Copies of this chain bind each other. A is one copy, B any other.
C-alpha cells in the first residue's frame, strides 16, 4: 500500500476524519520525503520541520475535539516565497529578508491556515517573480527532476512549487501567475497547475509584480487534488470531503483548436505530444472546433508596448522596497528598467487595447468549453545555457509565450501533463477558459484526466528521483 502522502487528497481527508490517519503522521511522511529528496531537488528556500509538526498537532487536536474546520485541515501546503506566511521569513527571491510587514498571512493563505493546514516551508522563486524559467543568482535553483544529468529549468517564477510536489513534502503548492508563473513550472515539472481569474483570489500580502495581471494559483499532483485544493480555498458552498467538483465526461466536450500563434514557436516533439493527447481525447468522444485567435499574439505585443508589468513591478519596488533594487538579478533588473522611460499614455493605451482584445476573445471562447493548446512551446532549457543575457531573454520569452495570453486576455487556465518530449521532459496541455469559469474548467480537466491518466500514470517516475 502506498504511503498516505502519495494518495489522492480526498482519500487522505477522509482518513483524517475517520481517525485512520493523523495529520502528524502525514506530516512525518512529508518530512521524511523532504529529508530524502531535498538535498537533490532543493525546492525550498525555508524549511521548518518542527513548526510543521506543531501545526500538524494543532490540526489533530481540533480533529480530536470534533472540529472540522475545512478540507485543508491537516493537509500539507508549500508556499511560494513571495507570499507572506506567519512564522516564516520572506525573501521573495532577493538576497535580503523583507521587512516583517510582508510576513503576515494574506487572505488566500489565511483561508487554509484558518482551516489548520500544515505549512512546512516556503519554496524558491525567481526574484520578485519576474521570470518564467526559474533561475535566480542569489539562491540555489531547484532541480527539474526529469533530467538526472543536466540541471534543467524547473520553470518559473514559482520555481520550487512543482519540485516540492515531487519531493513529496507538500500536496498542494501555492504559486502565483502573472504571465505563466504557475502554469510554466507545472508544465515543466509534470504537474497540474491552475491559474485563477484576475481578481477572484486576493493578492494582498503577496509581493506585487503586476497589479494588472498578478493572480494566485495552485499546483498539485493531479486534477483531482487541484479540485480538492480549489474547494478548500474557494468553496461554492461549504466544502466537504464528499462535495468535490463533478467529473465531466469527455464525450461531448468541445475543445477549441487553434493553429498559428500557440503552435508557431513549438518544438516539433512538443507540438506532437500535445497533438497526440488531443487526438486521444477525440478518440474518447471530445469534439473539436478550430478557432482563429490572432488576438493572442497581438495581446502579448501590446503588453510589451505599454511596459505594463515593468512599470507596475518597478514602481512597487521603488515605493515599497527601494533598498531591494540595487541587488536585483541583472536579468530581472534589465527587463524592469524599461519602466524608467515608460509613458503613462502608452501604459493606459495598452490596457485599453487589451480590454478590447479580451472582449473579442471572450466572445470566441463562449463557443467552446476551453481552448486546448501547448502550455510551453519548448523543452525546459539547461540552466547553463541561460548564462548569456540574450539567451536568457530569448528563452524566457519563449517559455512564457503561450501562457501570457491567458493573463492578458483575462482568462482562467489549467495545465495538465500531455506526455514527455524527446528529451524525456514533461509537456503540458493547456486549457484556457472564460474568466471565473474555474469550476467548469476543473470539471472538464477531471474528465480529461480520466482519459489521459494522472501525471504519474502518464509520465512515470522522474529519473532524478522524488517521491517513491
Instruction: List residues of A whose CB falls within 8 A of some B CB.
Output: 307, 311-312, 314-315, 318-320, 339-345, 347-349, 352-353
Which 6 residue pairs of A and B lie closest in terms of their CB atoms, listed nearest first? A315-B348, A311-B344, A319-B352, A342-B344, A344-B347, A315-B345
What are the residues of chain B within 8 A of A352 when measuring CB–CB?
A: 315, 319-320
| Interface pair A345/B349, CB less than 8 Å apart | no
A353: nearest residue on chain B (CB-CB)?
B319
Within the complex, what minimum Cβ distance (angstroms) separates A93 from chain B? 22
- Tell me the bound Cα distance from A340 to B315 in angstroms: 19
A310: nearest residue on chain B (CB-CB)?
B344
Contact of A342 among B307, B314, B320, B343 (CB under 8 A): B343
Can you list 14 A-B pairs with a CB-CB distance of less than 8 A? A307-B344, A312-B348, A315-B345, A315-B348, A318-B349, A319-B352, A339-B344, A340-B343, A340-B345, A342-B343, A342-B344, A343-B344, A344-B347, A347-B347
- Tell me the bound Cα distance from A256 to B148 in angstroms: 70
Given A314-B345, A315-B349, A342-B343, 15 extra CB contacts under 8 A: A311-B345, A311-B348, A312-B348, A315-B344, A315-B345, A315-B348, A319-B348, A319-B349, A319-B352, A319-B353, A339-B344, A342-B345, A343-B343, A344-B344, A344-B347
- Tell me the bound Cα distance from A109 to B310 in angstroms: 38
What are the residues of chain B within 8 A of A342 when measuring CB–CB?
A: 343-345
Copies of the chain in the assembly: 2
What are the residues of chain B within 8 A of A340 when measuring CB–CB?
A: 343, 345
- Tell me the bound Cα distance from A353 to B345 in angstroms: 21
Contact of A339 among B312, B319, B345, B353 (CB under 8 A): B345
A342: nearest residue on chain B (CB-CB)?
B344
What are the residues of chain B within 8 A of A307 when measuring CB–CB?
A: 344
Within the complex, what minimum Cβ distance (angstroms) separates A181 from chain B? 22
- Tell me the bound Cα distance from A91 to B342 in angstroms: 33
- Tell me the bound Cα distance from A347 to B348 in angstroms: 11
What are the residues of chain B within 8 A of A344 when measuring CB–CB?
A: 307, 311, 315, 339, 342-344, 347
Within the complex, what minimum Cβ distance (angstroms) separates A304 from chain B? 14
Within the complex, what minimum Cβ distance (angstroms) separates A355 from chain B? 9
Of A307, A315, A341, the most chain B CB neighbours within 10 A belong to A315
A346: nearest residue on chain B (CB-CB)?
B344
Within the complex, what minimum Cβ distance (angstroms) separates A458 from chain B? 44
What are the residues of chain B within 8 A of A319 when measuring CB–CB?
A: 348-349, 352-353
What are the residues of chain B within 8 A of A339 when measuring CB–CB?
A: 344-345
What are the residues of chain B within 8 A of A347 when measuring CB–CB?
A: 344, 347
- Tell me the bound Cα distance from A343 to B340 in angstroms: 8
Of A320, A341, A343, A353, the most chain B CB neighbours within 10 A belong to A343
A307: nearest residue on chain B (CB-CB)?
B344
- Tell me the bound Cα distance from A345 to B308 in angstroms: 11
What are the residues of chain B within 8 A of A312 when measuring CB–CB?
A: 348
A341: nearest residue on chain B (CB-CB)?
B343
- Tell me the bound Cα distance from A305 to B341 in angstroms: 16
What are the residues of chain B within 8 A of A343 when measuring CB–CB?
A: 340-344
- Tell me the bound Cα distance from A341 to B343 in angstroms: 7
What are the residues of chain B within 8 A of A348 when measuring CB–CB?
A: 311-312, 315, 318-319
- Tell me the bound Cα distance from A320 to B319 in angstroms: 31
- Tell me the bound Cα distance from A344 to B307 in angstroms: 9
What are the residues of chain B within 8 A of A353 when measuring CB–CB?
A: 319
What are the residues of chain B within 8 A of A320 when measuring CB–CB?
A: 352
- Tell me the bound Cα distance from A340 to B319 in angstroms: 23
Within the complex, what minimum Cβ distance (angstroms) separates A417 from chain B? 39
Of A343, A344, A352, the most chain B CB neighbours within 10 A belong to A344
Within the complex, what minimum Cβ distance (angstroms) separates A382 from chain B? 36
- Tell me the bound Cα distance from A314 to B348 in angstroms: 10
A211: nearest residue on chain B (CB-CB)?
B348
Within the complex, what minimum Cβ distance (angstroms) separates A461 from chain B? 47
- Tell me the bound Cα distance from A345 to B311 in angstroms: 6
- Tell me the bound Cα distance from A318 to B306 in angstroms: 14
- Tell me the bound Cα distance from A320 to B343 in angstroms: 18
A348: nearest residue on chain B (CB-CB)?
B315
- Tell me the bound Cα distance from A341 to B339 in angstroms: 14
What are the residues of chain B within 8 A of A311 when measuring CB–CB?
A: 344-345, 348
